[in-house]
Structure 1
Amino acid sequence: MKRIPVTLRLLAAGYCTHSEYLTIRGGSFRSSRFPAGFACIGHPELGPILFDTGYSERFYTETKRFPYSLYARVTPVFFRPEESAASQLLKLGIEADEVRHIVLSHFHADHLGGLRDFPNATFHYLQKAYDAVKLRKGFAAVRAAFLPGLLPADFELRSRPFDEKQTVRLPDGYPFARGLDVFGDGSIIAVDLPGHADGQIGLLVATESHDYLLCADAVWSSKAYRENRPPHPLAGLIMANRSEFRDSFRRLRLLHEKFPQVRIVPSHCTEPWTSYVKDGVAL
């Protein structure tokens, strides 16, 4: 599989709190922080590409009215304006209108909260993921952790769902059914990681030094896959498909066991930032 090296920055836009025991077997009952992680991938020709966006101030606006207010009550969110994806990129010298591509792992509010801040971006995702939420309103949307008002009004016009015929051969032994070449150049490969949400994907990218799997919410922490500690059964209540989640969890375990050199990055875990990042850049 041809790979084009990229640069990778791991960032977060706000965080939510939950009891750890829901996210990992044997976890603490104490409230824990779960950062709303996103990534900025530096492509040599396409420029900055975002993988998700984390929260934005619009989360608070969209959850003021019932029934969307239920989302904020169940999931306490903490966010400051300077933490938005657009604000953080600006500090790095990247204007919001310079971002031409955003890849979405899935359509939960903590992953797409900042989409409206990027007026020139094309949105890339698995069609199944959008189909699962696009008609949901009210309680049905809240049940899917989806806030329709976070999507730009021209979202569909600016969308380019993955070409599911554009598959690539993954390295022998990789435990994924397929790889989708997002931009057709081998730089960013999407792999299926459903269960937490319908159509959820992760991204395989390579820097000059290491291979990474940005695994979104297939697990909530690195120690979960490393120590084989899946979420508490109650977490199944917020999953789209429990059996698919278990299968995705198993695949992450296999990748870690067979290819420990691949750096797995869950969206809500701080460990990768302390282990893999130097001066803001993933090595």
Structure 2
Amino acid sequence: MTIHHLDCATMCPFGGRLLLGSGGALVGRLTAHCLLVEGAQGLTLVDTGFGAGDIADPRRLGRAFLTAVRPRLDAASTAVHRIRALGHDPRDVRHIVLTHLDPDHAGGIGDFPHARVHVLADELRAARTPTTRAERDRYRAAQWAHGPRWVEHRPETATESWYGFRAIPVLPGDAPEFLLVPLPGHTRGHCGVAVRESDRWLLHCGDAYFSHTDVDPASPRRPPALTAFQRMMAADNRARLDNLERLRELRRAHHDEVRLICAHDPADLDPPGATTGR
């Protein structure tokens, strides 16, 4: 197993590091932390960041999104480009496992039309048939207009107990390398993705939190702008907070066994292309 940590989008909202925790004095910096995993099932991508279609036509991201997060749209940062830079053929990506379908997480699925795209059923339902204005605004159907090979997973079918969380094996095999860990709140069907490393697990928490300080018990301060933004963007803020507390407890109790990362904190991201694994 080899895990490549990829930054597949840079976002530069106004606010600066005092409000956002990273970036410059006036403009912050957020990442889109994706994983490329070389394992028994071939190449698997966890989240995608923006795609080539977003770079070619930024309008498909939506005016509100572009204004709020001010993405730096660069073809060189897309997952398909970074995978080629690692010496791989993007056609060899057999599976994409998504934490959720926000545009900065699922924008690149169209660059891998032959891959199976794994997502919680509740999330796909929210994207296809949004029931609130917030859901209508956040999901961008143009990103999956090509007709992905969806694989829906349902929390009620969870067969694994993983550190007190329900978990759903994603790929076939006796020793699962990937688990979906339902963490609803940010969106209706948001989840974490657990990846087995050599002697521990890596849990990609998606947008269950935005800053490593959210789960670090030693941190005296959390970025106020990110805290407010998380509350504003949550489909169910009570569920988000409940799952955040569970993740804090997971970190406290099992820090040596499970490494937690989130999608948007540069502090969680190894240098682009860095690898870990066995």
Report the TM-score, using the length of structure 1 for normalisation: 0.83
**1:247 match:** 242
Asked whether the equivalents of residues 126 and 135 of structure 2 are also in contact (C-alpha less than 8 Å), the reply is no
Quote the offset at 1:77 in angstroms: 0.5
Indicate yes or no: 2:139 matched with 1:146. yes
Change (3 A) 1:21 1:125: farther
**2:171 match:** 183
**2:191 match:** 201
**2:153 match:** 162
**1:267 match:** 263
Asked whether the equivalents of residues 7 and 272 of structure 2 are also in contact (C-alpha less than 8 Å), the reply is no
Indicate yes or no: 2:128 matched with 1:134. yes
Matched residues, number = 266
Asked whether the equivalents of residues 8 and 40 of structure 1 are also in contact (C-alpha less than 8 Å), the reply is yes
Q: Which structure 1 residue ranges, 5 or more long, are not aligned?
A: 1-5
* Residues in 2 aligned to 1:22 and 1:279: alpha-carbon distance in whole angstroms: 28
**1:3 match:** none
* Residues in 1 aligned to 2:103 and 2:157: alpha-carbon distance in whole angstroms: 28
* Residues in 2 aligned to 1:278 and 1:130: alpha-carbon distance in whole angstroms: 29
Asked whether the equivalents of residues 141 and 148 of structure 1 are also in contact (C-alpha less than 8 Å), the reply is no
**1:219 match:** 209
Question: Residue by residue, what CA displacement relative to the aligned partner does 1:117-150 show, whole Å, maximum 9, x if unpaired?
Answer: 112111111000011121359x65563x221111
Moved more, 104-113 or 14-23: 14-23
Amino acid at match of 1:199: G
Asked whether the equivalents of residues 6 and 272 of structure 2 are also in contact (C-alpha less than 8 Å), the reply is no
* Residues in 2 aligned to 1:50 and 1:166: alpha-carbon distance in whole angstroms: 23
Runs of 4+ residues over 4 Å off in structure 1:
20-24, 60-63, 139-142, 163-166, 228-231
Amino acid at match of 2:90: A
Amino acid at match of 2:79: A
Indicate yes or no: 2:109 matched with 1:115. yes
* Residues in 2 aligned to 1:241 and 1:22: alpha-carbon distance in whole angstroms: 23
* Residues in 2 aligned to 1:15 and 1:96: alpha-carbon distance in whole angstroms: 21
Report the TM-score, using the length of structure 2 for normalisation: 0.85
Change (3 A) 1:134 1:127: same
Change (3 A) 1:281 1:234: closer
2:209 is paired with a residue of what secondary structure? coil
* Residues in 2 aligned to 1:164 and 1:239: alpha-carbon distance in whole angstroms: 19
Asked whether the equivalents of residues 209 and 230 of structure 2 are also in contact (C-alpha less than 8 Å), the reply is no
Asked whether the equivalents of residues 97 and 193 of structure 2 are also in contact (C-alpha less than 8 Å), the reply is no
Q: Which structure 2 residue ranges, 5 or more long, are not aligned?
A: none
Aligned Cα RMSD in Å? 2.9
1:194 is paired with a residue of what secondary structure? coil
Quote the offset at 1:82 in angstroms: 1.3
Quote the offset at 1:251 in angstroms: 1.0
> Sequence identity of aligned pairs in percent?
23
Quote the offset at 1:238 in angstroms: 1.4
Amino acid at match of 2:139: F
Quote the offset at 1:282 in angstroms: 2.3
* Residues in 1 aligned to 2:231 and 2:269: alpha-carbon distance in whole angstroms: 27
Richer in helix (by share): 2
